[in-house]
Amino acid sequence: MTIDIFYQGHGLQEMQHIEISLDHTVEQAKLLLIEKHGWDGELLIFAEDHDHPLEHHTPMRELCGKAGAKLHLHRCREVEVFVTFTGETKHKQFAPGVTLARVRKWAGKAFGMSEEDVGEHGLQLAGTHDRPALGTHVGSLAHCPDCKVKFDLVPEERVNG
């Protein structure tokens, strides 16, 4: 029996998919993905929005819900995230598998915004006009050995009509 694994990783901003055996361990899944993408073996695996790497001996069946599992593979244990809003910058360490939705929520609280105001703002990569989707893992935007990413918290574009 197989399960669906959806994942992002170092240099992969788009969600990828692989089917693996329900009996595989985290280590076996990691080895399959390393082979598929030609990565080096020093990668850690994180479950989406979890703060610590997964144990290598953990059976994949323990990580899966009805729709499979969402994972992130990265060499960085943590990513330092900087968010600038109205000329002020806040920063915090996040695990690479944390979604931008969680980063945006933290940034809103850090800047004293209401939940409604947070929902009207987006994260834009500093110095660009690129606004990655809220489901993007922060690690897909950070590179080793820096393990950092910088954003501006900007108002969402409104369409009148």
Let me know if the fold of 2-74 is the same as that of 79-155: yes
- The CATH class given to the 79-155 domain equals alpha beta
Neighbours of 137 (CB within 10 A): 32
Going from N- to C-terminal start, the domains of the chain cover 2-74, 79-155
Q: In angstroms, what is the C-alpha Rg of the chain?
A: 17
Q: Do the beta carbons of residue 56 and residue 26 sit within 8 Å?
A: yes
DSSP for residue 59: B
Give the DSSP H/E element, type plus range, for residue 89.
Answer: strand 88-94
Neighbours of 47 (CB within 10 A): 19
For residue 82 the two structure tokens come to: 């900087």
d(CA 19, CA 100): 25
Return per-residue pLDDT of the chain as tens, 161 residues. 888 999 998 777 789 999 999 889 999 999 999 899 888 778 999 999 999 999 999 999 888 877 889 999 999 999 999 999 999 999 999 999 999 999 999 999 999 999 999 999 999 999 999 999 999 999 999 988 899 999 999 998 766 65
Instruction: Name the residue with tokens 């361990």.
Output: 25
Residue 159, pLDDT score: 63
d(CA 121, CA 116): 9
- Say if residue 57 is exposed, middle or buried (CB neighbours under 10 Å; 0-12, 13-18, 19+): exposed
Give the DSSP H/E element, type plus range, for residue 158.
Answer: none
Residue 158, pLDDT score: 67
2-74 to CATH, choices 3.10.20.90, 3.50.50.60, 3.40.50.2300, 2.120.10.30: 3.10.20.90
